[in-house]
Each structure stands twice: as structure tokens, then as C-alpha cells.
Amino acid sequence: RAGGAIEALNGNLNISFSSFSSNNVNGGAGVANPGNGGAIHTSGNAAVTIQSGSLTGNEAAREGGAIWIQGSGSLNTSSNVLFVNNSAHGPAADDGGGALFNNGGSVVLLDTLMFANRADGASGSGGAIFNLGGSILATNLFVGTNMANRAGGGIEDSGGTLQLNNSTLSNNSALSSPGNGGGLHITG
């Protein structure tokens, strides 16, 4: 259903110097919907903190190839957290977030790299990040060579708050469905 490696319901989840690789909630036969959070999924008031780690090759059938954050939850990353080659396969325009899907929560990204992530569903958005009505504060964030089929090759911000400080969006692509915002697409 959700959280290929971890489902955090409430409380604090502190992760240090750890790797999440090839986890998935792929929505295949016998797998219940929704297929969110290939490695980590939050519900309730869960607060996730990740320091110095990697999330690579994780998959979600719909949203959050690596991580999916609930509206009352939060995520804080620091000290070189890597999101590489994760994918979200959701077909709708409000599906995606190859590395991270923030569903109204509070996210702080510090010294984080997101590289070669994909929102590859028919109208998938946010190759690296999809922020749906939440808040994201990023400092020293690198978003490069990510891809979305619809919009926001690097980042899709839909009705949320996004602040980028000393950050780089480079060589991201939004394909032809309709192909808006190669680096950043803002709606709402």
C-alpha cells in the first residue's frame, strides 16, 4: 500500500548514515492502492529526520518514488542526503514526485542532492519534487537531470510555498505532455 521500507504513523523517526535502495510500492497484482512512498511514507504527525544517507532506485506506483509526506507530517534532511534514480509512475497530473511528494506537510532540505529521478506516468509531474499545498525550505539543494512527463522536470509546486536558497536546478526536463517548466513549474 505505502512505504516500501518504512511507514511512520506518529512520533519521530530519526535516520542517520543509512541507505534505502530498491524498495517499492509498485501497485502490482495483489498490491492495494495507493502505492505512495517507495521507501518511506508518513501518516498522522510523523516527523522524519534524515542525516547523511542515500535513497536510490526506489519506486512508487503513484507518488513519492522515495518519500511521501502527509499534511501533518514533516521531513528534515541535512549533511549530504542523496536522492538518486527514484521513480513515481502515477498517470495523473497531480501524481509524481520522483524523489519526494509533499502532500501539505513541512519540508526542510539542507545540503541535499536529487539526481536522475523521474515522474514517468503519462501526465506525471515533479521529476524530483512535487509540492502539493505544503511548504518547502531548501538551502544548498541540487536538482539535476530529473525528468517529468507533464511539468516540473525538476520541481512541481502546486499551491504550496517554496523557498530556494543557494540552490541549483540544472539539466532537468519536462517532456511533451504538455512539457511545461523544465526546471520549475508553479501552479495554484
SS3 track for 46-114: CEEEEEEEEEECCEECCECCCEEECCCCEEEEEEEEEEECCEECCCCCCCECCCEEECCCEEEEEEEEE
**Model pLDDT for residues 106-137, shown as the tens digit of each residue:** 999 999 999 999 999 999 999 999 999 999 99
Round the average pLDDT of the chain to a whole number and report it: 95
pLDDT higher than threshold 60 for residue 140:
yes
Pull the grid cell for residue 22.
530498491
Which residues, listed in sequence order, are joined to residue 67 by a DSSP beta bridge? 40, 100
Running DSSP on this structure, what letter comes out for residue 71? T
Would the pTM count as exceeding 0.75? yes
pLDDT at 34: 83
**Model pLDDT for residues 13-33, shown as the tens digit of each residue:** 999 999 999 999 976 655 557
pLDDT higher than threshold 80 for residue 164:
yes
Pull the grid cell for residue 46.
510523523
